[in-house]
Amino acid sequence: MQLRFAYANTGEEYVKRKGWQQATLSRCPLHAQGGCRFARHGTYARVSPPGTLITRYYCPDGHRTFSLLPDCYAARLSGQLSEVEAVVRAVEQAPSQAAACAGLRLDIELPGVQRFVTRRVQAVQAALVVIKGLVPERFGACVPTLLAFALMLGVPEVLVALRGIAESWLQELPRPLGFCPRPRPGGGRDRARQHRAGADPPGLLA
Ligand SMILES: [Zn+2]
């Protein structure tokens, strides 16, 4: 499962400073009382930015892998939350999603761009709606847009800030903000997937 690594900088800085070396878990999330064989379990690579490694732990007694995802990275999606935020903000500010798609310089064909944009917009909006309900005293009056949340929080980048604000609910919040696997139509969920060695699961929101 993915866990939050509180990190205030960008992915580029994380790579430059080898941030994965500072990412540590003091105890097993499954066995708070200790006594299990919980230990570091190497790293896995993410594609972007190049050079990114993510720290992993493994509890052989609970048969569970834990990876420490820095706040700047999108969950179960390539790249950083700032890139997701830029796409969604472009749509929020454009007269239509089609106009926003035309203006985005993405290295894919237009039907692919529409799909790429729609999934990001829907995923972010779904997360903002859930957070409005979870923290109504702060966000209850906001419409579920990044612009409205940015004004409320007084921060330039909302998604990275929400990793900290919504820390207690990250396992339930939809990716790429939260760590929940893709919700299924009808309300069910995929079973949480174990992290394997190798790249971050590719193309899940591509
Ligand atoms: Zn354990």
In three-state form (DSSP H/G/I as H, E/B as E, the rest C), the secondary structure along 156-190 is: CCHHHHHHHHCHHHCCCCECCCCCECCECCCCCEC
Torsion of CA 46, 172, 68, 81, to 10 degrees: 50
Average of per-residue pLDDT across 182-205 = 45
Exposure of 131 by Cβ count < 10 A (0-12 exposed, 13-18 middle, 19+ buried)?
A: buried
Q: For residue 194, is pLDDT > 80?
A: no
- The residues, any chain, with a CB within 8 Å of residue 201's CB and separated by 6 or more, are 76, 193
In angstroms, the CA 181 to CA 174 distance is 7
pLDDT digits (tens, 9 = 90+) for 47-81: 999 999 999 999 999 999 999 999 999 999 999 99
C-alpha 205 – ligand 1 centre gap (Å):
31
Q: For residue 198, is pLDDT > 60?
A: no
Total H helices, total E strands in the chain? 7, 4
C-alpha 48 – ligand 1 centre gap (Å):
30
C-alpha 64 – ligand 1 centre gap (Å):
8
C-alpha 3 – ligand 1 centre gap (Å):
15
Residue 199 pLDDT grade (very low, low, confident, very high; cuts 50, 70, 90)? very low
Q: For residue 202, is pLDDT > 80?
A: no
pLDDT attached to residue 183: 59
Spatial contact of 91 and 97, defined as CB atoms under 8 Å apart: yes
pLDDT attached to residue 174: 93
Q: Near ion ligand 1, which residues have CB within 5 Å?
A: 28, 30-31, 36, 38, 59, 62
Average of per-residue pLDDT across 98-119 = 83
CA 171 centroid distance within chain: 10
pLDDT digits (tens, 9 = 90+) for 139-186: 999 999 999 999 999 999 999 999 999 999 999 999 999 998 765 454
C-alpha 37 – ligand 1 centre gap (Å):
6
Spatial contact of 8 and 71, defined as CB atoms under 8 Å apart: yes
Structure tokens at 145: 């847009």
